[in-house]
Amino acid sequence: MSTSPLADLAQQTTELLAAIAALSTLDALRDAEASLTGKRSPLAALQKSLGALEPATRKTAGAELQEARRIVETALEERRADLRREARRSSLETDRLDLGDVIPSDVHWPLAAGHPGLVSLTQRELEDVFVGMGFTVADGPEVESDWYNFEALNIPPAHPARGLWDTFYIDLGEPETVVLRTHTSPTQIHLMERAVATDSLPIHSVMPGRCFRRDTPDASHLYSFHQIEGLVVDRGITFGDLAGVIETFTRAYFGPDISSRLRPGYFPFTEPSAEFEVTCTICRGAGCRTCSSTGWLELGGCGMLDPAVLAAVGIDGEQWSGFAFGFGIDRCAQMRHELSDMRALIENDVRFLGQFS
């Protein structure tokens, strides 16, 4: 009678368990895995040899072998878990960051958290007011071609209205003239073009953003400032709708004792056009130095969309009409918070910015 192939199973199991206990790193465990429990292990070799046994002996031998394998595999998994825990503990130890080396000792706790600046806060408030009135908010590029900034807005190359905008021209060596946008009005053109292309008129949108003019900064002018543009294109829109939107906005943003008025004005892209004024926020309409004793402060421009603008973007002026408006976000912040000098908005002095959180 031949000796059972499992004669040294107990001995082999003990050796495997000792080898597992001796593994000292996860890498070593990974390298040894195949020879401990995998295809190259003594247990796998024994498994093969079972084939030569009588069916009855094979069954009991198979069960014994399976039990040995379970013991070895459990030991290996426990060792793996131990080594993982150990590796984690030692990496926490070695990777520990001693902030005492990084933060100077004279920092005053708690550290102050930053917050959006006054212009961003004002922009958000203005957006909120218009969203509450049913407008959506859209964005447009700060760098525009001459066509978007001027021509599509009915301002051809030699038009005297170009003189109103002291423009930064960009020389990209292209045949087309490129400018830093002088107002947010070109975003109207982008929105109308998109609505025509996607057959998605009407439009009720406001478009806030940064604009640029070659102005020397003074108390009420900046070379980089912000405007918010409004555009409505729909059926049967009248000047009364425009005046209503302006008045509703004025009271919602400045408060119930400030109202608006429209004075005839001129803009090439609207007909008729108006200057949009609000009650002087300093003297509340009584007349003071800031409003040149008129009781009113000019905030922006507005008007009914000029048929030439609708034609430039391919909108049928017989079916659709609309209005637009645009005014300064920085100017709103100045009026609302009675800032004597707009330059404070771009000087990044935390003593100023920290007052508006």
140 binds ligand DAH (CB under 6 A): no
Q: Which is nearer to ligand DAH, 37 or 184 (CB)?
A: 184
Helices and strands, counts by H and E, the chain: 11, 10
- 206 vs 56: CA distance, rounded Å: 87
User: Tokens in use for 143?
Assistant: 């760098």
- 248 vs 317: CA distance, rounded Å: 27
- C-beta of residue 226 within 8 angstroms of C-beta of residue 127: no
Q: Which is nearer to ligand DAH, 69 or 183 (CB)?
A: 183
Q: Which is nearer to ligand DAH, 140 or 326 (CB)?
A: 326
Q: Which is nearer to ligand DAH, 147 or 352 (CB)?
A: 147
* Burial (0-12, 13-18, 19+ Cβ within 10 Å), 8: middle
Strand pairing report for 178-180 and 260-265? unpaired
C-alpha pair distances (Å), 267 with each of 160, 225, 255? 11, 20, 28
Give the SS3 label for residue 55.
helix
Q: Which of 123, 154, 260, 270 binds ligand DAH (CB under 6 A)?
A: 270
Q: Which of 140, 325, 334, 342 binds ligand DAH (CB under 6 A)?
A: 325
Q: Which of 5, 209, 303, 322 binds ligand DAH (CB under 6 A)?
A: 303
Give the SS3 label for residue 44.
helix
User: Which residues have a Cβ under 8 Å from the Cβ of 153 and sit 6 or more positions away?
Assistant: 185, 186, 188, 189, 268, 269, 309
Q: Which is nearer to ligand DAH, 68 or 228 (CB)?
A: 228
Number of residues that bind ligand DAH (CB under 6 A): 12
Q: Which is nearer to ligand DAH, 5 or 300 (CB)?
A: 300
CB of 198 to ligand DAH, least distance (A): 22
Give the SS3 label for residue 323.
strand
Q: Which is nearer to ligand DAH, 5 or 140 (CB)?
A: 140
- 246 vs 285: CA distance, rounded Å: 18
Q: Which of 6, 152, 195, 324 binds ligand DAH (CB under 6 A)?
A: 324
CB of 209 to ligand DAH, least distance (A): 12
C-alpha torsion 206→208→212→218, nearest 10: 110
- 30 vs 313: CA distance, rounded Å: 68
Name residues contacting ligand DAH, limited to 282-301 (CB under 6 A). 300-301
Range 259-262 contact pairs with CB under 8 angstroms and sequence separation of 24 or more: 261/296, 262/302
CB of 163 to ligand DAH, least distance (A): 12
Q: What distance separates the 2 farthest-apart alpha carbons in the chain?
A: 124
Q: Which is nearer to ligand DAH, 122 or 167 (CB)?
A: 167
Q: Which is nearer to ligand DAH, 13 or 149 (CB)?
A: 149
* Site string (214-243) toward ligand DAH, x via CB under 6 A: ---------------x--------------
CB of 353 to ligand DAH, least distance (A): 26
> Which of these segments, 55-63, 138-146, 253-261, 319-327, binds ligand DAH (CB under 6 A)?
319-327
User: Tokens in use for 291?
Assistant: 């409003």
- C-beta of residue 212 within 8 angstroms of C-beta of residue 223: yes
- 294 vs 296: CA distance, rounded Å: 5
* Site string (179-208) toward ligand DAH, x via CB under 6 A: ----x-x-----------------------
CB of 303 to ligand DAH, least distance (A): 5
CB of 181 to ligand DAH, least distance (A): 10
Q: Which is nearer to ligand DAH, 229 or 330 (CB)?
A: 229
Q: Which of 245, 277, 326, 334 binds ligand DAH (CB under 6 A)?
A: 326
Which residues are at the interface with ligand DAH (CB under 6 A)? 183, 185, 229, 267, 270, 300-303, 324-326
